[in-house]
A and B are shown apart, each in its own frame.
Chain A
Amino acid sequence: MPKMNMVQAINLALKEEMERDPDVVLLGEDVGKNGGVFRITEGLHSLFGAERVMDTPLAESGLVGAAIGMAVYGLKPVAEIQFMGFIYPAVDQIFSHAARIRSRSRGRFTCPLVIRTPYGVGIKSPELHSESSEALFCHMPGIKVVVPSSPFAAKGLLTSAIRDPDPVLFLESTRLYRLVKEEVPEGEYTLPLGKARVVQEGKEITVIAWGSMLHKALQAVDGYDAEVIDPMTLRPFDEETILSSVKKTGRVVIIQEAPKTGGFGAELSATIAEDAMLHLKGPVLRVAGCDAALPLARLEDAYMPSVERMRRAFDGIMKY
């Protein structure tokens, strides 16, 4: 089995789905001849032609809106937004149409759309090139939000996302693109959306982390008897796996790259409080980014959840 990084795994998932289904089309700024900012679509333009791998005008709202139209009326578009911070002009389209066209039409229309975008820190560039605003999209009913943490997960989840009948926001950690290599099967396999993965079993603390934070969390738990869970899909998230782990350990630390206030960790924390309060030995803790725009690279380490901050949280919760 070949070893791949996440860029190669995503590229392969796109290629295989395009071979399998002629309705799958790609569009975005520079995704065609150029192959995209992060080279995700490299080679696909020459394989499938300009009709299926389209360079669009520099217009996020227009390109996402067009992708929604394509999805609702017969195609399966995968749109790329160059950086998550560039998605904001298209939020109108995502919230006003993609998220609710099924509900609004009472199921007569569906929107099998995937929007892929790199998120989070990774290229030492401030704020709009390093956003982690997943919580915004988790809040809006009608959108699924998927965050792979490894090349294997990325391929299986992206394949599922393309085949899913509903709109999926697929968040790719820029930091992870070329950080990890692992064995990824060629040919078809899928990982179900809405299902979490217990990455390592443990008895004393449940640690929940997604995307690039998972890798830091795995470093940080060394020496603790921690169960580490990767939700993989944030909306709808796998309550069952998370709650059963929490009921076992009674201690929870949630780790997110995004700013703390109103982040997805807050939703997890609230769900745990509602459904597993009496199993808790102490407060649900969050280790998160700062409530500020991501600063320049020199301050990035101060902003990001570090292994040290995670361990302080583990030590804190172990006092209960």
Chain B
Amino acid sequence: MNVFVILGRFFLDFIEEIGGMALLFWRVVQQGHRVFRNARNTLVQMETIGIGSIPLVLVTSVFVGAVASVQAAYQFQGYVPLRFLGAVVGKSVTLEVGPVLTALVVGGRVSAAIAAELGTMKVTEQIDAMEMIAIDPVEYLVLPRIAAATVMLPLLTVFADFLAILGGMVVAKLAVGVSFNTFESGLRLLFKYQDLVGGLMKTFVFGYIIAFMGCYNGFMTKGGAEGVGVATMRAVVQSCLLILVSNYLLALLIFRVIFAPD
């Protein structure tokens, strides 16, 4: 096959994908005010997305905080006094590690689950059946998931930030030999509330991305079991990539514009 044909088709597929996402995005915006009509669905989703992710977030953040502590101490050797350990762990956790890692692990779990569920509904014609009984799938399925993820991800991140710092603190004492008091005063020394708030602001967007990409890929599912597999994979890949890219853009916006250094 001609190389231009392949490139052209790839380009067309890409445009179609962007178009599809834009259409769904527009319908979500248009119908956003109906989110409270399905409050029960939203609460159920908050439980599966939020409460259900707690064990995963717990393990991830404790160990990430622990390793941050060990690695920072290793790099400090001979250059930086260890009383700054708490400051470094606290900064890195609240600014980047907490929000981004929470988004990535929750994104893997949640966008896959959403895509697989909606994808199965799509291939078994349950979405069509919903349309036929005059229930809008965007209102009934998409809005509750997006609302739930957008609310729950920041909460999970607060939880993750706290646990990661705690993990770092415990490891600092056990493995590095920095007392809780020293660690804590380091933490206080350079702490700015903007770090925490800025980090959390990002997670609203990440939560939206996670649910949106899961829903979009679920709705686009074609074929049978294989199609559901493909949709699930794409949902995870796309949400992770979008989280990483938007993280950069949001960092520019939040820390260069909103909380711009004087």
Q: A and B: real partners?
A: no
